Amino acid sequence: MRMYDLIYKKKYGGKLSKEEIDFIVQGYTKGEIPDYQMSAFLMAVCLKGMDMEETTNLTISMRDSGETLDLSKIHGIKVDKHSTGGVGDKTSMCLSAMVAACGVPVAKMSGRGLGHTGGTIDKLESIKGFSTSISGEQFFENVNNIKMAIMGQTADLAPADKKIYALRDVTATVDCIPLIASSIMSKKLASGADAIVLDVKMGSGAFMKTLDDAVALADAMVKIGTMAGKHTSAVITNMDQPLGLAVGNSLEVIEAIDLLKGKGPKDLLEDCISLGTLMLVGGGVTDNLDEAEKMLLKTIEDGSGLKKFAEFVEAQGGSPEFIYDTDKFEKARYIDPIPAPKSGYVSRIQTDEIGMCSLILGGGRETKESVIDLSVGLILNKKLGDEVKEGEPLAYIHSNDKAKTAQAIERFLNAYTISESFEGKVKTTFARVTSDGTVYF
Ligand code: URA
């Protein structure tokens, strides 16, 4: 087999066999296929696509490029949740605690920030002492004892994805359905959970910009998970504005804690409920979505979700006092309002640019080696559809550097459109995709 012939075949829309896909994935992972040939191949996939059989074979080949975790030491049906990446998305933290408090073991693998999107691991590290670098044994023990653990992805898990993702990042080949589906699902299948719930983000802060594309991505991932014997479902959620009000590492952890205290923003709660109900169904505690919703809401009312989060933090070396008293989080030195330049209604938010504001302030990595500032970010005061008067704060910038504040304000104002009116309806969730089909909300 020759890589040249396979690139040529895909360039003209040909269908690749399992053997051909294995040749490409394993060859690239081992360093036998150079970056320039792989780049040409990835671009051909972006332009010509892959059918479901090819996408599934690509996923399985990437999964098998490294180790797979055996979670059989954890009792019960283990559930994992994964987001395709968004801004202000702190769902994993509060949602995992709510689901664990309902008795479903949450064995979660998370990542660090990527581009304009934040990562759960970075966020959790703003809790003093907290570590996600725990051993497999510790991970199993924590899930068995307290029903919840979050660890970072190890280097041995789906190494093909690690290499291919880095190449896609610099060759404009990220926003491609078969490549995203195989990237996410290869990691999820390698990390061993029995049930997988996917949060597929759609909008100006997401890789998928339209509902049709988001549903196609969700459908592909659900089919792959189901074929691999995992209970897999997905929700399409709105990323035409940041989720909640907080964007930035510690600010987002505080908002997730506030949600568990019953003081969270409405859209964050809605996301937690739509994803959490599927996690409870996947975890086998109920097959009724209304009952699942009641169980989740009860964890907020009776404080069991907050208690679970504090137990989880303590089990991974963090200080539980941070959960009960969020004043303990390190605060940024300066908090500056961003005044609205005119009166009207917020009619559009370029959400990826809001993520970039947090990155500019130091909340994300400019290079792989960057050390991030966990205390910086933004608290939004106005979101889509809100009326605003000239001079009223659109948001507050939390920063440790006034020059960076100025840069972030300029970028923020370019990302917000204020119009004379706003007719649209702002939805939080758009559809649920399961192996039974798609339900639009
Ligand atoms: N997240 C991933 O892990 N992979 C992608 O391709 C996109 C988002």
Residue 24 shares a structural domain with residue 157: no
Give the β-pairing of 387-388 and 231-238.
unpaired
Q: Give catalytic status of residue 161 as yes or no.
A: yes
In this prediction, residue 169 has a pLDDT band, given cuts at 50, 70 and 90, of: confident
Which atom in ligand 1 lies closest to the alpha carbon of residue 111?
3
In this prediction, residue 102 has a pLDDT band, given cuts at 50, 70 and 90, of: very high
Q: Is the pLDDT of residue 365 over 90?
A: no
| Percent over 70 (pLDDT), the chain | 99
Residue 192 shares a structural domain with residue 273: yes
Tell me what the mean pLDDT of segment 352-364 comes to: 92
Alpha helices in 12-124 (DSSP H): 18-29, 35-48, 52-63, 91-101, 120-124
| H or E segment to which residue 148 belongs | strand 148-152
Ligand 1 test: best mutation among 89, 163, 165, most atoms within 8 Å of CB?
165
DSSP state of 330: -
Residue 340 shares a structural domain with residue 233: no
Taking CB atoms within 8 Å and a gap of at least 24, the contacts of 406-410 are 407/360, 408/357, 408/358, 408/360, 408/361, 408/378, 409/336, 409/338
Name the nearest CA neighbour of 268 among 146, 105, 377, 380: 380
Residue 309 shares a structural domain with residue 348: no
Name the nearest CA neighbour of 85 among 228, 187, 230: 187
Q: Is the pLDDT of residue 53 over 90?
A: yes
Q: Give catalytic status of residue 168 as yes or no.
A: yes
The pLDDT value recorded for residue 51 is 97
Residue 318 shares a structural domain with residue 385: no
Q: Are 183 and 165 in contact (CB under 8 A)?
A: yes
The mean predicted confidence, pLDDT, of the chain is 94
Q: Which range marks the domain in which residue 378 is found?
A: 332-419
In this prediction, residue 433 has a pLDDT band, given cuts at 50, 70 and 90, of: very high
Count H helices and E strands in the chain, helices first.
17, 14
Query: Final residue of a domain: which of 281, 299, 325?
Result: 325
The pLDDT value recorded for residue 331 is 96
The pLDDT value recorded for residue 99 is 97
Lowest mean pLDDT among 73-77, 236-240, 243-247, 347-351: 73-77
Report residue 128: phi and psi, to 5°: -55, 125
Interval 39-51: pLDDT, tens: 999 999 999 999 9
84 Cβ below 6 A of ligand 1: yes
Which atom in ligand 1 lies closest to the alpha carbon of residue 174?
6
Instruction: Write down the pTM of the prediction.
Output: 0.92
Q: Are 351 and 395 in contact (CB under 8 A)?
A: no
Exposed / middle / buried, residue 90 (Cβ in 10 Å: 0-12, 13-18, 19+): buried
Which residue is catalytic, options 61, 96, 126, 183?
A: 183
List of residues 6+ apart from 282 with CB closer than 8 A: 77, 79, 194, 195, 196, 197, 231, 232, 233
The reply to whether 296 falls in a domain is yes
Q: Which residue has the higher pLDDT, 240 or 172?
A: 240
Q: Is the pLDDT of residue 391 over 90?
A: yes
Residue 317 shares a structural domain with residue 342: no
Six-digit token pair at 77? 């049906």
Cα–Cα distance between 400 and 332 in angstroms, integer? Answer: 6
Cα–Cα distance between 1 and 391 in angstroms, integer? Answer: 65
Tell me what the mean pLDDT of segment 294-321 comes to: 97
Q: Is the pLDDT of residue 214 over 80?
A: yes
The reply to whether 67 falls in a domain is no
DSSP state of 249: H
In this prediction, residue 350 has a pLDDT band, given cuts at 50, 70 and 90, of: very high
Nearest CA, atom 7, ligand 1: 180
- E-strand ranges in 159-302 read 195-202, 231-238, 246-247
Interval 105-126: pLDDT, tens: 999 888 777 667 778 888 999 9
The reply to whether 259 falls in a domain is yes
85 Cβ below 6 A of ligand 1: yes
The reply to whether 72 falls in a domain is no
Q: Are 401 and 363 in contact (CB under 8 A)?
A: no
Interval 399-415: pLDDT, tens: 999 999 999 999 999 99
The Å distance, Cα 187 to ligand 1 centre, comes to 10
Q: What Å distances lie between residue 342 and 346, 357, 391, 406, CA to CA?
A: 10, 21, 7, 19
The reply to whether 318 falls in a domain is yes
The reply to whether 404 falls in a domain is yes
Ligand 1 test: best mutation among 176, 180, 196, most atoms within 8 Å of CB?
180
Six-digit token pair at 391? 């001079």
The pLDDT value recorded for residue 368 is 63
Residue 267 shares a structural domain with residue 398: no
Which residue is catalytic, options 90, 116, 123, 187?
A: 187
Cα–Cα distance between 60 and 76 in angstroms, integer? Answer: 25
355 Cβ below 6 A of ligand 1: no
Q: How many CB atoms lie within 10 A of CB 229?
A: 9
Residue 241 shares a structural domain with residue 374: no
Q: Give catalytic status of residue 435 as yes or no.
A: no
Residue 141 shares a structural domain with residue 257: yes
Residue 27 shares a structural domain with residue 119: no
Ligand 1 test: best mutation among 120, 179, 184, 207, most atoms within 8 Å of CB?
184
Residue 166 shares a structural domain with residue 226: yes
Q: Are 198 and 162 in contact (CB under 8 A)?
A: no
Q: Give catalytic status of residue 307 as yes or no.
A: no
The reply to whether 392 falls in a domain is yes
Nearest CA, atom 6, ligand 1: 180
The reply to whether 20 falls in a domain is yes
Q: CATH number of the domain at 311, please.
A: 3.40.1030.10
| Percent over 90 (pLDDT), the chain | 83
113 Cβ below 6 A of ligand 1: no
183 Cβ below 6 A of ligand 1: yes
Q: Give catalytic status of residue 116 as yes or no.
A: no
Please give the tally of structural domains in the chain. Answer: 3
Lowest mean pLDDT among 165-174, 237-246, 252-261, 293-302: 165-174
Six-digit token pair at 384? 């889509």
Q: CATH number of the domain at 45, please.
A: 1.20.970.10
Q: CATH number of the domain at 386, please.
A: 3.90.1170.30
Query: Final residue of a domain: which of 302, 325, 348?
Result: 325
Residue 351 shares a structural domain with residue 275: no
Tell me what the mean pLDDT of segment 75-85 comes to: 91
The pLDDT value recorded for residue 114 is 66
